[in-house]
Amino acid sequence: MKVAVIGSSGQLGHDLMRILPAAGLEAIGFFGRLELDIANAAAVEAMLESHRPDAVINTAAFHHVDLCESRPDDAWKINAVAVRDAAKACQKRKILWMQIGTDYVAEGWPGCQPIAETAAVCPKSIYAASRFAGDCLTLAHAPEYGYVVRTCGLFGIAGCKLKGGLNFVDTMIAAARAGKPLRVVSDQIVAPTATDTLSRQLAALLEHQPGPGLYHAVSHGQCSWHEFAQTALRMAGLTVTVEPVSSTAFAAAAIRPRYSVLDNARLRTVGLDLMEDWQKSLQRYIACKYPPPA
């Protein structure tokens, strides 16, 4: 199977380009907008015609959550309209279209059960609403070939371009090593997910193709961002104080969900839940990227 990866320069795209071939799949990467602009429908159609992939994984999106509030036209253009056009193009050619979604579209409350695919959504920002639209447009315009895979709190070796090549874990470790004070929200509960584990999960979905539709794929377990930071620093051998604060302390432009822990219910139903506990994934990540000195 030949798989086109849109956004191969990102931390998920980076691991997909490494893990898909290891799973016996041919991967063609499109590094950034200069190679393939997801918002250019003609360019996407040309890519499908020239490379003729069997599947496309779209990791590209307008990810800057707060900036989406002041640039809603760009958010809707990239996160919704572009996804619709690409999904239609893939459906027409019988190519599997896999759209990577976000936990930001859902919200429960602290202490509730993880949120299954059948639960109602609650997008509270332009980012979340535009990403949810992309989910819906995928399923509407690629009913036979469209997969939406929602995930959460990604961290991977390549880091996030938006954060200067860092992710949350890297940012916490860099700040701690620099002696900076650490203040992290304790009232947002998530399921941090490693991109290498997610990549293996996506490869399994491509291999088995259990049926189009919505899937959740996040780490098992849950924690606050504060607990996530504390755990990462402890695993990295750093003894520092992390002050827990309310999300209101940062006055961000976009509202974040308080509880967005997803339940991999549909993956379990089809016998394909390969995700692991977030602490296990984090330990492997720390050991790989921040090994102790010899």
235: left (phi over 0), alpha (psi -120 to 50) or beta: alpha
Tokens encoding 165: 């090549």
C-alpha 152/C-alpha 195 separation (Å) is 10
The residues, ordered by sequence, that sit 6+ positions from 208 with a Cβ below 8 Å of its Cβ are 270, 272
CA atoms of 195 and 151, how far apart (whole Å): 10
Number of Cβ within 10 Å of residue 76's Cβ equals 18
3-state secondary structure of 167: coil
With beta carbons less than 8 A apart as the criterion, state whether 61 and 79 touch. yes
Rounded Cα gap, residues 4 and 291, in angstroms: 33
Supply 10's token pair: 């990102």
Catalytic residues: 127
